Structure 1
Amino acid sequence: MKRIAIGVGENENIIQACHIFKEKHPETDINLIYSDDDLIRAVLDKKIDGVVRGSLPASNIMKELKEKYPNLSRATYVNGNGYEFLLTPVGIDEGNTVEEKFKITMNCIEFFKQVGKTPKIAVLAEGREDDFGRGKEVSNSIKDSRKLTKLIEENTEEEVKNYYILIEKAINDKCNIIIAPNGRVGNIIFRTLVLLNSWPSYGAVTFGINRTYIDTSRDQSIEGYVRSLILANDLAKD
């Protein structure tokens, strides 16, 4: 029997989600976790097959996990308009350099290959290509997006394109790995698509750790937490 642990904070949608999940997956044991420390212990516990953050705060948990796994990164798994894609970076302190975003991109590519999907990568920036020169931050973001696109092209055979600020074109082209300019922008995109516009999300897949850990928003719906439990259950090793 698989064992999945999930964090219970102030959002009671977690409890209802667990009941719904158990009706569909009675063979999986669910452990409810009520503190950051216990959740971290659950991630490291080899007797537990997968962990979902649920509605516990992320900051302390990610800080502790990054001390043990310094290359930790996340990508939110979104299903919108009939196709699935990974959105990254999404942590507000993640993806601040080209090197960080390149590592996350390579993790996303490897993950999709493991689940039998062909990566199609979109790199984003904080302006159009011809917006270069309209402020230091915009220009730096455009330069970084060009560097990142070139780095991906040189190190992988996967399809990649720099869409600059045109995320709508990346989505219309069915890109399944979308690289935001930084984690703050990625977090806003996530909240706009998932929490405001109700695009289904399975939570964030965590890379750089040899455990199944799904990061989630404290503001997620019942259905969102059910999807995260299903993803953790699917990825967990028997």
Structure 2
Amino acid sequence: MKTIAIGVGENENIIQACHIFKEKHPKTELKLIYRDEDLVKAVLDDKIDGVIRGSLPASNIMKELKEHYPKLSRATYVHGDEYEFLLSPVGIDEGNTIEEKYDIAMNCAEFLKKVDKKPKIAVLAEGREDDFGRGSEVSNSIKDAKKLTRMIEETHEDVTNYFILIEKAINDHCNVIIAPNGRVGNIIFRTLVLLSSWPSYGAVTFGIDRTYIDTSRDQSIEGYVRSLTLANDLAEDK
């Protein structure tokens, strides 16, 4: 029997999600966690097959986990009407350097290969190419996106710099979308998932030898059910 631990905070949608999940997966044991430190212990516990942040706050948990796994990163697994993709960085303090975003892109590509999908990577910037010069932040973002695209091209042929045109990247069915930084990625996530109701399975976590799914504190019941299902499936395949 598998054991999945899940954090319970102020959003009680997680409790209802657990009831729905348990009806479909009676052989999976669910362990409810109510404190940040206990969730970290669950991640490190070999007897637990998968952990979901649920509705506990992320900052303390990620800080503690990074002490054990310094190269920790995550990518939100979004499923649109016609296709699915990984979006990263999504943490507001993540993806601040080209090197961080490169590692994230490589982790996303490797994950997709493991689930028998061919990576198609989109790199984003904070402006169009011809917006260069319209402020230092925009110009630096455009320069970084170009450099990141060149770095990824050395190992992956299917990568395109879409600059700010995320709608084109989605229309082209890219299955890895690299945001300019975690703040922009977080806004994209909230716009697509929490506002426009695109289904999300939570964030797959890389740089860790455990199954850990990071979730929003504001997720719906259906969203938490999807995260439970993903953790259960990944624990099955690990």
TM bucket (normalised to shorter chain) is over 0.9
Alignment of 1:111-150 (within 5 A): 111-150=111-150
Rounded Cα–Cα distance in structure 2 between residues aligned with 1:99 and 1:61: 23
- TM (norm. structure 1) is 0.99
* Native 8 Å contact 1:145 1:181 kept in 2: yes
Count how many residue pairs are aligned between Structure 1 and Structure 2: 237
The Cα shift of 1:32 comes to 0.3
* Native 8 Å contact 1:121 1:158 kept in 2: no
The equivalent of 2:40 in structure 1 is: 40
Letter in 1 for 2:213: I
Alignment of 1:48-197 (within 5 A): 48-154=48-154, 156-197=155-196
* Native 8 Å contact 1:95 1:183 kept in 2: yes
Rounded Cα–Cα distance in structure 1 between residues aligned with 2:128 and 2:206: 30
* Native 8 Å contact 1:119 1:158 kept in 2: no
* Native 8 Å contact 1:121 1:176 kept in 2: yes
SS at match of 1:55: coil
Alignment gaps of 5+ in structure 1: none
* Native 8 Å contact 1:8 1:55 kept in 2: yes
The Cα shift of 1:49 comes to 0.2
Q: What whole-Å deviation, never above 9, does each CA across 1:173-205 have from its counterpart, x for those lacking one?
A: 000000000000000000000000000000000
Q: What whole-Å deviation, never above 9, does each CA across 1:131-164 have from its counterpart, x for those lacking one?
A: 000000000000000000000001x134000000
Letter in 1 for 2:65: L
CA RMSD between the two structures:
0.7
Alignment gaps of 5+ in structure 2: none
Rounded Cα–Cα distance in structure 2 between residues aligned with 1:9 and 1:187: 20
- TM (norm. structure 2) is 0.99
The Cα shift of 1:166 comes to 0.2
* Native 8 Å contact 1:87 1:186 kept in 2: yes
Aligned-residue identity in percent: 83
